Amino acid sequence: MNRKSSILFALAGLALAGTIAHSINEQKRVRANDVLLRPFQENAPPKAADYDGLARYFMQGFERFKTSQGSGAAYPGLRL
């Protein structure tokens, strides 16, 4: 293998590693607020503060995933 091929493969590997790292970071940011949903996934009845967390979850999600018109939100994984 010549030097140009080695450099090309090294750059391709770096690009792939960067893409994977970015994807993992995005998944962590999207899922970071899932903690706020936990009280609603358990068998115990939610407390009043849990509903505040639920409202915060949807408000943050609306800001993060709002549509280009700004009047809706396109949450990942939801289909209309």
pLDDT of residue 16: 82
pTM above 0.75, yes or no: no
pLDDT of residue 80: 57
pLDDT of residue 15: 85
The percent of the chain in helix, strand and coil, each rounded to the nearest 5, is 70, 0, 30
Q: How many residues in total does the chain contain?
A: 80
pLDDT of residue 59: 86
The tens digit of pLDDT for each residue in 17-64 reads 888 877 766 665 555 567 888 888 888 899 999 999 888 888 888 888
**Nearest Cα residue to 15 out of 25, 7, 3:** 7
pLDDT of residue 47: 92
